[in-house]
Amino acid sequence: MTATTLLLARHGQTVWHAGNRYAGVSDVALTDTGRAQAEALGRWAAGHPVDAVWTSPLSRAVATAAPACRALGLTPHREPDLRECDFGVVEGRTLAEFAERDPAAAEAFRADPVAHPTLLHIPLPEYRRVLPRLHNAALTELRIDGGQAALLSLNTPCTY
């Protein structure tokens, strides 16, 4: 079995980022900045060929992947399982707005916002402490070998 390298790119900035609103499953469009970030990712991809591009079906992910796909001559595979978490009643709100409405629920959300396994075995209640900020259109590189995952780089902005 050979090792596989995964390059993960977060989508570009959306209209909800300025207000720090949760946008998990909501289909929120990219801003002009987000489109510029996607173009920078495309320029980066042109110099770092990959075999395939997979994206969530949400428009922000598809639009972010489009310049890289053009540069690489690839058609993106749209995979519904790559969508972000559904933040439920927090979706579209800031955490402060949610806490104002329901302080106890907001505290419970802070303690454990998702209930999914993680590839790097980060305890879920700790993921925001371990990964406090993920830049838009930034790259994370993982190597998967024999069922083990290694983090090679994290949250590296594309500035090409």
Reduce the DSSP state of residue 150 to 3 states and report it.
strand
Neighbours of 68 (CB within 10 A): 27
Both tokens of residue 22? 């949760």
Tokens 């979706």, residue located: 91
Is the CB of residue 55 less than 8 Å from the CB of residue 62? yes
Q: Which of 84, 97, 100, 116 is catalytic?
A: 84
Q: Which of 11, 97, 107, 126 is catalytic?
A: 11
Tokens 């209930």, residue located: 115
- Of 94, 128, 133, nearest to 111 by C-alpha is 128
Distance, C-alpha 36 to centroid of its chain:
17
Task: Establish whether 84 is a catalytic residue.
Answer: yes
Both tokens of residue 118? 């993680």
Task: Establish whether 91 is a catalytic residue.
Answer: no
* Helix (H) or strand (E) run with residue 139 in it: strand 138-145
Strand partners, 7: 141
Catalytic (active-site) positions:
11, 84
